[in-house]
Structure formats: C-alpha cells, structure tokens
Chains A and B, each alone.
Chain A
Amino acid sequence: MATTTARPAALDPHQHLAHEARLTVDDRRELLRYMLLMRATEERALTLYRQGKVPGSYYDGRGQEAVSVGSAFALSPSDRACILHRDLGAHLLRGVRPGRVLAQMMGRAGGLTGGRDGNMHFGDKDLGCVGMVSMLPDMAPVACGLALAFQMRSEPRVAMTWFGDGSTANGQWHEAMNVAGVRKLPVVFVLENNQFAYSTPNSLEFVVDPIERAASYGFPGVKVDGNDVEAVFQASAEACERARQGGGPTLIEAETMRMHGHGAHDDMSYVPPEMLEEWSRRDPIESYEARLHDAGDVDLDSLREEVKAELDSETDWALAQEMPDPATATGGVFATEDPVMGDGKAPWSRWAKEASHA
C-alpha cells in the first residue's frame, strides 16, 4: 500500500474518496495481461534490434512494467497521458497495438509516427496521448497545460505524466510542480525512480528524496513500491480521484529498477551485480503472477498463450509494413486544421460501469 512521506495538512491522501479503487478478478487479469504484453512487445523489439531491423538505438522499460500499467489503469477514457519511454504498458493500455509500436521502432510507414520519429517517441492523439520528446521532463509542463484546459472548462478530467529520477534535477521539473500547485491543477505526476539517470545513481542526483518536495509545492507526495502493480494502481486511482474532485495534483514516486541499460548500447557496467540480483528477485510480473496463482482466479497459462499469439501476429503485421516514401519527408510541417484528440481505452471495470450507467 501507499506510504505517505509528505503530506500537507490541508490534503490528506488517505482521506476517504468517493470511489474506492476496487479491482475485480477481470481487472487483475488485465493488469497482468498488459504487463505481459509490454514485456513481450519489448522482447520482440529487442530481437528486431539485434537483427538489425531497428535503426538507431533501442530503449525499453524492462522491470518497470508495474509502474506504467498500474498508473495508467486508473485513467478514464477522456483523461490524457504524456507517456515516458519506459512506459510502453501505458500506451498499450490506452489502445496502441503492439504491431504499430514494432513498426515505429523499425521506422516503418505503419508505425505511430510513420517513420518521422523513432523508438518510444510517440503518442497516439486519437487515444488521448501527447508524445514525449527527448528533453526531460518537457512533458511535465505540457501535462499542466492539459490539466489547465480541463480546469478552465470545469471538466472532471485528469492529465497524467511520467518522468524519471533524473528529471527531478531539472529546473523545469520545479516549474511544473510549482505551477501545478499554485493553480491546483488536476494533474498526476508519476516519478519512476529506477535508480539511475543513464549511468548516474540517485546519490549523485539529489540529496533529499524528491517525494519530500511535494509538500513544499502544496500537494501530497505518495511513495509506493513500483514493482507492485496494485500498489501503484491504488496510489494512482486515489490521485486521479483527488484531482477530479478539485483537490489538485499529486506526486507519486514509484520505486523500481531499470533492469536493462539506458539503451541497448549500454552494458550497465556501472550497476553492481548484487543490485540487479536483488531487484530480479522482485520482478513485477513474476511476483504478480505468483499472487494471482495463489488466489487461483486467473488461468495464467492461457493468458501467456494469448499474449504470445497476439505478439506473433502483431510482429508479422509490423514486418509487412513498408518503409516510408522519401518524398513524404518534407511535408506536414505546418498544420492546416485545429487539433483533435480522441479518447483512450480504459480497461478498469470502473469505467465500463460508468459508461453503462451513462
């Protein structure tokens, strides 16, 4: 469960919220399925990279599946997300097909940006996502702007954005937190502390745990085990509900570990082997599988088969996509129409119920 380390007097993150974040058996199956889907997609992408089919470098979120899946699971269809490169699970959960991600990695026309951008630099606007850029955490103030729009139109909607421990050292992180606090914006900041900013350990990034800073911006900071998908979900659901009810932002710190290098080119020589061993024992997928297995409600074998079959067909689809036409490289710099964003999928049963009541 969430551990509160910073709590302004006015806002108690444990206060009873209108919606208790309940998970059904189907919800739990979905949480596991999206984590499996993320890992399977990233494993396929890494294979494609090693086969020389992925230009540039390759980045993944191995070991961080519980963070993206657990947090994005709390989002409603009309919420908006600015997703980080370690958080493929959030994209998949919002409705991005794995094949389009693989095509994106390979620079194919069928990828999410049609080859205009690579790796995890995408956001499907039709699914309510605004794609990240390499400068971090650029999307933190952007998420504040999305939230500002919701607030100005009095809409009970939330913007969620993810960033790493490295981002908390950047000046605009402070600006985004401060502005969110000043305007009490409906935004949820998910800090995934995966222990390293590329090769730089936490000890060289900050002296005080960034979660402690939340109080100084006037909103709750909640620290959770980032390898426990339900803990991440509970904290996120509470944060979203608080934001929807006008309670303002929340900073969630999900403590986790980046189990692969910064990119596929990085041998991680700077990570002590015992650290990797310790975290591999806390693998978010294995531990959740064990939990669901003990509960006996989910048929794990059929779920794994289902994910594998999906990835097989999605990989075939991606490999069948053509490379983009060079003649298209110079088009589409300027828009001729106003922006239109669509809503994402929201697998949490709460939203299905809400939709059926509507």
Chain B
Amino acid sequence: MPEITYLEAISDGLREEMRHDSSVFCMGQDIGKYGGAFKVTDGFFEEFGADRVWDTPLAENAMVGAAVGAAVEGLRPVCEMQFADFIACGFDRLVNVAGKMYYRQGLAVPMVVRLPSGGGFSGGPFHSQNPEAWFLQSPGLKVVAPSTAEDAKGLLASAIRDPNPVLYLEHKNLYRRIKGDVAEGRYETPMGELGVAREGTDLTVVSYGAMVHTALEATEDIDGASIEVLDLRTLCPLDRDGILESVRKTSKVVVLHEATRSCGVGAEVCSLIAEEAFEDLDGPVVRVTAPDVPIPFSPPLERAVLPQVDDVKEACRELLAY
C-alpha cells in the first residue's frame, strides 16, 4: 500500500470513480487544464477530456443547479467549490432544490459538492471557513469530513456512489501535511460510522477533520491519562451510537471543532450526550471551538481564534481533574 498525501488520496478516489463509472464527471472553476486551485484534478483533463472535467464559468448558482439536473438524469456530478466559502453563492440550489427533491417528489439527486475548507494559513474571512453546520439544518443533505488519507479516498467514493446530495469537506490544512497508507483500486469508507483515532478509557475527545490531528497531538501525553479520540468522519448522518458508546466508557467528554461555536456540530453532540448519557457523565461536557467570529487574516489573530493544541490540552487537563 503506497503512502500518499490526503490531497493525492482525494485525487485518487475521484480518478478511480471516474475510470470505473462513465456517469461520474467533475465541474468547477479552473479544474480543467489548470488542474484546480489546489491541483486535485491535475491530469484529469488529459485523461477524461473537457466534457467530464468541465471548467465552468464563475457561476456557483449555475454549477450547483446544473449538477442537480444532471444528477436526476442519471449522471453523478462532482462539483468543486474553489473554496468551501463559495458554497454560499450556490447555497439555494443545494438547500432548496437538491435537499428537498427526494422528500417532495421521490427523485434522488446523486451529487457531490467538494468543499476545500478550514483555516490555519492566513486565508482570511473568505477562504478559511468551516461551513458544515450550515447544511446540518438543511434536511436531505449528507455531510462528510474525512481526517485521514485513507478516509479521504473511501468517503469520496461513498459520497459519489450515494444516491443523495453529499457535502464533502476536505480540510485544506491536511492536503499536503497528512500522509497515509492508501489502498489502490476502489473501496468505500461507510458513511454514518465514526472512526476511533485512538482508544482510551479516561476521557473522550470528539472531533472531525483537521482537529482530529490537533486532538491526537494534544492528548498524546497528559499526565499518562488514557484518552480516546473519536473521528466523526460523517456529520450527517451522525453516528450517535458510536458517540454514546465511548461516552459510557470514559464518562468525560471534550468536543472539539474548528468551526464556530454556537449551534455547531459540537452543540448537537453535547445535546445528544445530555439527552442520552447524562447518568454516565462524571463531569460537564466541554467544548473547544472557534469563537463566534469571522476567521481573521493576520497570523496572531487567526491563532487566537482557531483551536490550538494547548487549548485542547488545557481543556482535557481540567476535565480530567474534575
């Protein structure tokens, strides 16, 4: 099994699906000969041609809308937002057309929107956002957020093969930083199942995306405590049983995400625990998230906003001592 980057795993997954299934095609800005802003589709134009690697005009409304139309006619479009932030421009088609289509008229919409998300590199307020919670209030959309190269490939395959609209959050800060052994050929990482990034018995950190790596680094050694790190992988449908199983084992929970705090994934996880596992807790559930502010540009400001390793360490230490 070759070791490849998270970004190469996304490319690999997309390429494999396109090779295998002629109904899969890509659309997005600068994804053709240029290979995409982050080079995910590098070489795709040469292999699959201009029709299946469509360099769209700067038109997110039209792109997402056309993806819906192509999907109901039997194709499997994979839209690339150049940055996750820009899905705001195509939001309506996703939420009002794609998400409600099956409920209203029994017509499935198998499409994927890839969202290069997250901060940590001075992208500023419009190139750093983690918009996953926007979609969790929109029934009919699935949301995945892989943290490893293996899952990046496997979840993309699952997303493409799923008959529903799927938001695929790929964290930009993992693109070239994270490597892993990734199987060649096609495989799926099942949606709706969390992964256990590290097993433990004293405390659970619930996270996803880039923050899984922050959690692993922060909890490597906190006074010898045995800390479990959950990687949610899929945010909708959420693996409720998997979360509760870990909570019942460790009785202490830190919920960690890079997205802003209020009404985020963490709020849902905390509510779930409060409703279903209150009796199992040995301390308050703690959230470590970005505060409710835009992501600032300047490095010290951005660091102040995004959860850091030390923030997670601190939160775990306090909760362990509770």
Contact = CB atoms under 8 A, between A and B. Distances in A.
A122 to B, nearest CB: 6
A141 B105 contact: no
Could you say which of B64, B69, B72, B139 has the most chain A C-beta atoms within 10 Å of its C-beta? B69
A172 B73 contact: no
11 contacts: A130-B72, A133-B100, A140-B65, A141-B93, A144-B65, A172-B62, A175-B65, A179-B62, A334-B102, A335-B164, A339-B108
Interface of A: 80, 112-113, 116-117, 121-125, 130-131, 133-135, 138-150, 152, 159, 171-172, 175-176, 178-179, 182-183, 332-339, 341
A334 B140 contact: yes
A139 B97 CA distance: 8
Given A142-B65, A142-B68, A145-B69, A121 B110 contact: no
A341 B104 CA distance: 15
6 closest A-B pairs by CB: A145-B69, A141-B65, A335-B108, A145-B66, A149-B73, A175-B62
Nearest to A172: B61
B97 A148 contact: no
B72 A341 contact: yes
B111 to A, nearest CB: 9
B71 A141 contact: no
Contact of A338 (B92, B93, B105, B163): B163
Given A125-B107, A138-B92, A172-B61, A152 B25 contact: yes
A145 B104 contact: no
B59 A335 contact: no
Contacts of B101: 130-131
B75 interface: yes
A130 B107 contact: yes
B29 to A, nearest CB: 12
A176 B163 contact: no
Given A149-B74, A336-B163, A341-B72, A176 B108 contact: no
B142 to A, nearest CB: 7
Contacts of A148: 66, 69-70, 75
Nearest to A155: B73
Nearest to A132: B97
A116 B104 contact: yes
Nearest to B51: A152
A123 B73 contact: no
A147 B56 contact: no
A176 B74 contact: no
Contact of B69 (A113, A122, A135, A149): A149
Contacts of B51: 152
Could you say which of B25, B68, B140 has the most chain A C-beta atoms within 10 Å of its C-beta? B68
Contacts of A147: 69
The binding surface of chain B is classed by DSSP as helix
Nearest to A133: B96
A332 B100 contact: no
- Interface size class on chain B is 35 or more
Nearest to B100: A133
B59 to A, nearest CB: 4
A176 B73 contact: no
Contacts of B77: 145
B103 interface: yes
Given A141-B66, A142-B97, A144-B66, A334 B73 contact: no
A117 to B, nearest CB: 5
B67 interface: yes
A122 B105 CA distance: 7
Given A130-B69, A148-B69, A334 B57 contact: no
Given A121-B104, A131-B105, A333-B139, A146 B73 contact: yes
Contact of B65 (A145, A182, A339): A145
A178 B96 contact: no
Contacts of B68: 141-142, 145
A334 B69 CA distance: 18
Contacts of B163: 335-339
B109 interface: yes
Contacts of A171: 61
Contacts of B142: 334
Contacts of B300: none
Interface in B38-96: 51-52, 54, 56-57, 59, 61-75, 77, 92-93, 96
A159 B73 CA distance: 11
Nearest to A150: B73
Contact of A178 (B57, B107, B140): B57
A142 B66 CA distance: 5
Given A138-B97, A148-B69, A338-B163, A178 B62 contact: yes
B110 A146 contact: no
Contact of A145 (B52, B59, B71, B102): B71
B61 A175 contact: yes
Given A145-B67, A179-B59, 20 more contacts: A121-B104, A123-B107, A125-B72, A130-B101, A134-B96, A138-B92, A138-B96, A139-B97, A142-B66, A142-B97, A146-B72, A152-B51, A171-B61, A172-B61, A172-B62, A178-B59, A178-B62, A179-B63, A182-B57, A338-B110
